[in-house]
Structure 1
Amino acid sequence: MRIQRLATAGAAVLLLAGCGGSEDAGTAAPATTTAAEESGSSLADQDAAEVVDTAFSALEEAGAAHVVGSIEESGSTQELDLRLQGEDAQGTITMDGATVELVYTAGTAYVRAPAAFWASFGMPAEFAGQLEGQWVLMPEEAAGSFSTLTLSGLVQELRASGGSEITGEVTTGELDGEPVVVVTQDDGSTLTVADDEDAPYPLLIEDEGDAPATVRFSEFGETVEITAPENPVDLNTLGG
């Protein structure tokens, strides 16, 4: 399980990858006291790789999800709050105290961020100041990288990051009073999945690797209107 960071055209974007799941402030870790073979759950009867694949498939079929999480790396915490639906996405990513807003729709990416954020990537102060509080149309060559933040792109990354190589103990328990199945890997990282034959969604990831992370997936199948911002600044014309 892992969370990767992707930098594209002067805008850093957190990219979820690994076993998908979630945690937000105040949510207790799942209790896993029941052995899988004793639960009678068809999901719990699967091995670790099968549980992960089942969860990824359910996420993909949902068509939409709300993703909230954080990652600790190099002494700093980065946070994300994104709505992913189909080929579109919108939300915020916070890095080093700077909150970056993102909209990705119809294959085009738009970013709104403080001037300090743009300056941190080497943009001259004069130009960075022009972008303060402005929606920015990202160059076409960068938009393709943002597509990995769509639901379909995320599912592809989730599958690529582990797939059939995932091993670990499968147990059952409860999360927020609901039955779950938990895959625990050798490093202590866990994937918690709803123990629901009709909706076995990934619910909680706790990544105990080099960059500890937690992420929540919720609001499966719930959609919002995602539209391109009006009058964005085109980086190609900045300073012109």
Structure 2
Amino acid sequence: MKSVAVVAAIGGLLLAGCTSGTPEPATPPDNGVAVLAATEILDRATQALAAAKSYHLSGAFTGSDGYVTVDLKRSGENLLGEMTMDGKKIEALVVDGQKFVRLDKNFLTMAMGEDLAEQFAPIMTKNWLKPPVDGATFGELTDLFEVKEMIKPKGALSKGEASISSQRPVIALLDSGNTFESVLVATTGEPLPVKVTYPGGGLMVFTDFGADFPEIKLPAANEFLQIPATKK
């Protein structure tokens, strides 16, 4: 009986040691944005997003360009993204200031006409296109992946309710102009946007903050075509 009591006592000490030695997860402190005006909260969220090391944005919604899907990975000023707008797909790659785009046949048909698209699609859809420095041909398409423009309201901005989203306390920002339905901004830690909701159930979600994206890299020499500069 004595040995049983000793074993039980040792077990109790070990259990107590394991319990007391396990730290509680740290809760990020309140960042104070919930008491600010709606426009100030969006400014803080935009600044926090610009300062983030990296993030992943993905989702889909119905907008003025029809059904839109977005998949964007951003690391500093570099990005790799894919977007479809009403069945027309564009891919964008920006590395160290160098811009590349890749377009599907539907997009080329809209941009060039059916005959030229039919002629050049076999080559242009398989390779990245590197626009000239002036960006006059296709270079401006990378602007479609500017996230700050995606969360820029068209109408008056107001505050909605506080809630929990993706396990983080958030405050909702509402757009009367229906660019989006709401932007949910974290009220603890960095005031980063967490989700963007759209009328009709559309949704985009921010994830992978601080992640490494090795796929964001310059294409090999045989993987892109240089577009000639526009003659002046």
Give me the TM-score of the superposition, normalised by structure 2.
0.67
Larger Rg: 2
Could you tell me which amino acid in structure 1 is paired with residue 210 of structure 2?
G
**Distance in 2 separating the partners of 1:44 and 1:75:** 33
Paired residue for 1:221, among 196, 210, 213? 210
More deviation in 177-186 or 56-65? 177-186
Does residue 199 of the first structure (1) align with residue 178 of the second (2)?
Answer: no
**1:111-131 CA distances to partner (integer Å, 9 max, x unpaired)?**
233334323312512223332
Structure 1 residues 138 and 162: alpha-carbon distance in aligned structure 2, compared to 1, 3 A threshold: same
- Tell me, what secondary structure is at the counterpart of 1:55? helix
Q: 1:5 maps to which residue?
A: none
Question: Structure 1 vs Structure 2: percent identity of aligned residues?
Answer: 23
**Distance in 2 separating the partners of 1:127 and 1:77:** 26
Structure 1 residues 73 and 174: alpha-carbon distance in aligned structure 2, compared to 1, 3 A threshold: closer
Q: 1:57 deviation in Å?
A: 1.9
**Distance in 1 separating the partners of 2:77 and 2:228:** 25
Q: 1:172 maps to which residue?
A: 162
Structure 2, unaligned runs of 5 or more: 1-29
- Tell me, what secondary structure is at the counterpart of 1:215? strand
Q: 2:8 maps to which residue?
A: none
**1:35-92 CA distances to partner (integer Å, 9 max, x unpaired)?**
xxxxx97332222122212212221221322111334245831211011222211021
Q: 1:43 maps to which residue?
A: 33
Instruction: Name whichever structure is richer in strand by fraction.
Output: 1
More deviation in 49-58 or 122-131? 122-131
Structure 1, unaligned runs of 5 or more: 1-39
Instruction: Name whichever structure is richer in helix by fraction.
Output: 2
Q: 2:174 maps to which residue?
A: 184
Question: For the aligned residues, what is the CA RMSD?
Answer: 3.3
Could you tell me which amino acid in structure 1 is paired with residue 130 of structure 2?
L
Paired residue for 2:84, among 94, 97, 106? 94
Give me the TM-score of the superposition, normalised by structure 1.
0.65
Structure 1 residues 176 and 216: alpha-carbon distance in aligned structure 2, compared to 1, 3 A threshold: closer
**Distance in 1 separating the partners of 2:205 and 2:174:** 17
Q: 2:45 maps to which residue?
A: 55
Q: 1:105 deviation in Å?
A: 1.4
Structure 1 residues 132 and 180: alpha-carbon distance in aligned structure 2, compared to 1, 3 A threshold: closer
Q: 2:228 maps to which residue?
A: 236
Query: Are 1:70 and 1:78, in contact at CA under 8 Å, matched by a contact in 2?
Result: yes
- Tell me, what secondary structure is at the counterpart of 2:35? coil
**1:124-164 CA distances to partner (integer Å, 9 max, x unpaired)?**
122233323222222322276356467xx544x479x459x
For residues 113-124 of structure 1, what are the structure 2 equivalents within 5 Å? 113-122=103-112, 124=116
For residues 128-167 of structure 1, what are the structure 2 equivalents within 5 Å? 128-142=121-135, 145-146=140-141, 148=143, 154-155=147-148, 157=149, 161=152, 167=157
Task: Kindly tell me the number of residue pairs found equivalent between the two proteins.
Answer: 190
- Structure showing greater relative contact order (alpha-carbon pairs closer than 8 Å, 6 or more residues apart): 1
